[in-house]
Structure formats: C-alpha cells, structure tokens
Structure 1
Amino acid sequence: MTTESIDTAAEIEAIHAVVAAVQKAQRAEDADAFLALFHPDAIWTTGGGKFLNGRDEISEFTRAVLPGATKDGYATYEPFFVRFIRPDVAAVKVRQQYFNHADELQSQGSPLYGMTKEDGRWLLTFCQNTPVVDH
C-alpha cells in the first residue's frame, strides 16, 4: 500500500468538498443531490442501525426521511480525519452536530465515510452513521 504518488492536499480538498455537499443536500432536503454522492453499489448503516445495500435502498430510505428533516433544526458536517487506504480509497471521519433553530447543540454524530475515487470523482461507498452517546 502506498499513497506517495498522490497529491494528498488536492485529494483531501476534494473529499472535504464531498462532505460539504452532504451538508448542503441535507440542509436543502435535496434527496437527488444527496444520492448523487453515492457509488451505485454503496452500503450505508444509518444512525439507527438500519443496513442499506445499494443506491436503490439508500434512495428509498432517504426519500422517506429527508423531507421534513430540518423542521426542528439543522446539522453541520466537518471532516476531521482522512486516511488513504490506497490512492483511490479513503476512510473519512466526520464530526456531525445537530442544532435546533436557536443554534443550540442538541446531539452529535460520528460518521465514518468509506470513499472511493471513481473516474476522478470521490463517492460515498461504505458508510456508517453513528450517534455520539454521553456516558
């Protein structure tokens, strides 16, 4: 495994742009924009533990839960860790924060986005959305 041959800064910038697009699509409740970020064979485990296999299942779930998702607030998404497994595969940790409309923090998540680079574009390929629970 080597990542020496990639422009790490440029790839991290491109990955950050995908996470920003996730945030933008979620805030706009734009299912099409959100789904366009996924590999066709992506897998996703929701924060509630539901396993979704492929973009069709992700689409069905997203179209059921995204409309109205911002009625009580909004979420921010901040990538804070990127590890290249190969030049075309990255593990991306995201700080997810949920705020009410008074900008008060309500809860947090800690997703792991497994991303692959396909035809020059980073896509969400294997992802786990995990809530942060205070112990």
Structure 2
Amino acid sequence: MSSQFAADAAQVEAIVNVVAAVERTQRDKDAEGFLALFHPDALWTTAHGKVLIGFDAIAEFTRKVLPAASWDGQVTYEVVHTQFLRPDVAAVKVRQVYQGAEGVSSEGAPLYVMTREEGEGGRWLLTACQNTQVAADPE
C-alpha cells in the first residue's frame, strides 16, 4: 500500500472487510446486502459500461440483475492495492474472479473509490466504482 496519507491498520482492515462483504453478497446474490455497502450519492459503472448514477439507479439495476444472475455463485474478490487519497477517501483496486464449473469464467478489475462516514468509527462506503472486464490474453 502506498499513500501520501498515513493509514492505520484498522482503516485498511475496515476497507478489506467491505470488499469481503461485496464478495459475500455477490456469492449469495443478496441485493439488499450489496446495496447496504453504497453511499447514498454513489455512482457505479458496470463491467459492460452501464453507468448508474445515484443510489436509486444502482438499486433498481442490482435488484433486477443480481438475484437473476446465471453464474453459479462462485466469485472471489481480492484487494490488490489501497491508496488513501485523503484520510477519509481511498482508491481500492480489486481482483474479481468468477469461477465456473470448468475453471475461471471471467475476471474483472474493479476500482472502488470509498469514503468514510464522518465521526469516530465511521464506516467505509462504496462511492464511485468502475468495474472493468479483463480481456482474454491473446496468445
């Protein structure tokens, strides 16, 4: 982790826990649990380029597609880099892997800009997120 701002281990752990909650809610196809991780003014761009601005748009999309997703629910999310832009703002690079019966089905490279709510012990929320599908490596 590199940063111009010092981050204590508790803040890094809190961010890792949010990403773990993203993984858990995606695996469980739990739309409401997933939505609870977002800032009210969040924006989200899906891996296929659909731009969702505001919680209501994210919620409408998520409630429609997540429970009906055709993948088998095997997905992993790994924090690969965290950079604190301010003490209450972090850019978090994630490796996302959907696994099918035959092995890796697809991989994503999300970037989550997360913000921490005000106050001592404020929780971290997904605020500006861009998911990018990783293209197959041409051989």
Contact 1:2 1:87 in 2 (8 A): no
How far is the alpha carbon of 1:17 from its aligned partner? Answer: 0.1
Structure 2: tracts of 5 or more residues without a match:
none
TM-score, length of structure 1 as denominator length: 0.91
Q: Distance in 2 between matches of 1:103 and 1:18?
A: 29
How far is the alpha carbon of 1:68 from its aligned partner? Answer: 2.8
Q: Distance in 2 between matches of 1:73 and 1:118?
A: 30
Structure 1 residue runs of 4 or more that deviate by more than 6 Å after TM superposition: none
Tell me the matched-pair count.
132
Aligned-partner residue type, residue 123 of structure 1: L
- Is residue 129 of structure 2 the alignment partner of residue 127 of structure 1? yes
Aligned-residue RMSD, C-alpha: 1.6
Aligned-partner residue type, residue 104 of structure 1: G
Q: What does residue 113 of structure 1 align with?
A: 112
Q: What does residue 68 of structure 2 align with?
A: 68
Q: Deviations over 1:3-36 (max 9, x none)?
A: 23x42x1111100000000011111111110000
Q: Distance in 2 between matches of 1:23 and 1:103?
A: 20
Structure 1: tracts of 5 or more residues without a match:
none
How far is the alpha carbon of 1:69 from its aligned partner? Answer: 1.9
SS in structure 1 opposite 2:74? Answer: strand
Counting aligned pairs with the same residue, the percent is: 60
Alpha carbons of structure 1 residues 103 and 24: separation in structure 2 relative to 1, 3 Å: farther
